[in-house]
Amino acid sequence: MNSPAELRKLIQRRAGELGFDDCRIASAKKPRHYSEFRDWLDAGKDGEMDWISRGAEKRGDPQQVLGGVRSVIVLAMNYWQGASLGPNETGGGRIARYAWGMDYHEVLEPKLRELDRLLQAQGGKQRFYTDTGPVLERDFAADAGIGWHGKSTMLLNRELGTWFFLAEIFTTLELPPDPPQVARCGSCTRCIEACPTGAITAPHQLDARRCISYLTIELKGSIPEQFRSLIGDRIFGCDDCLEACPWNRFAKVARETAFAARPNITQTKLRDLLLLDEASFRELFRDSPIQRTKRRGFLRNVCVALGNVGTREDLHALRTAAQDREPLVAEHALWAIEQIEKRSRSLAAKTQSRFHTDRVVSPERFANGS
């Protein structure tokens, strides 16, 4: 058996071998922002994410997650793929960077099982999660020194910026904790200013009901019309508050190639995505986080994006979608058709007005013999 200090080094070394970019330890105590979390729930800012409130009590008491827990091992994995690829440059919709490639659960969970086996050999009992359990993971990550709480509510890291996944292993083993990092946002408010829908209502305050990631992923029904035009060409998630963070100038391309963009996902034109039936949707997004929305939610998002950036060339696909057997898809397709036709009429009116203006000969031009 290793001493706690030796085991800590062993865990961190093995985590690095498995591809994690950081591994640190926090004590298994009550999360420091639990009361603020309960206030957030009481205000209804979780929207329709009922699964959060169902595990609310456990999120405030690690002992309810794993009896006898003493330490929380927090791991971070970089997923940034570089700034060269912008999915919307090919005529497709914008997808949050974390969903360009393989589902991170499929990548991280086998690695967590490897670490679990190592800890079992040391006599520990464990539970591990990567946003799959009742854990206020950013509090534990901040306590462990993985990063600090940004004003966007995202965790920031000096080397990784904002582009990393978190995972936690709750263990009954006693491990020396790491010190927290100093918060380094200063007076910067770029993330707040960048939010298209004003979802970051104040520093460290997020109203999920306004967040584009919530609207395009977690919301199962109709997207409120007040937010549809603000979604732009985003069809799964939003990175605006992350992209705005100055700490991302230090970001490096991820070692894990599973997160690399899949051209058949990121480069497919929006109107072509409307052709997906259930089988082709499952095949295209196999092992992708985008499966989470299911076909109906994803095509809803595509319709909204086309309503914002589409042209008359997209109307045929949208009219077909307006007959979809899923009422959610049909509703948003009809809205998109209305938006495109409205833009077309406005453009035609402007063109006609400009044409008539150009044909008018001013007295000055006539006098000059023009």
* DSSP three-state, residue 196: coil
**Residue 131 annotated as catalytic:** yes
As given in the structure block, the two tokens for residue 183 are: 């918060």
Among residues 39, 131, 272, 277, the one annotated as catalytic is 131
* DSSP three-state, residue 150: coil
Phi/psi at 67 (5° precision): -60, 135
What one-letter code names the amino acid at 73? I
As given in the structure block, the two tokens for residue 370 are: 């023009």
Contact 128, 169 (CB under 8 A): yes
- Residue 302 and residue 235: Cα distance in Å, rounded? 6
Contact 147, 139 (CB under 8 A): no
- Which spans in the chain are helix H? 4-17, 34-42, 50-54, 56-59, 62-65, 104-121, 137-144, 190-194, 212-213, 225-231, 240-243, 263-266, 270-273, 278-284, 294-309, 315-321, 327-359, 363-367
- Which spans in 204-326 are helix H? 212-213, 225-231, 240-243, 263-266, 270-273, 278-284, 294-309, 315-321
Phi/psi at 290 (5° precision): -65, -20
Please provide the size of the chain in residues.
Answer: 370
Contact 337, 322 (CB under 8 A): yes
Q: Which residues are catalytic?
A: 131
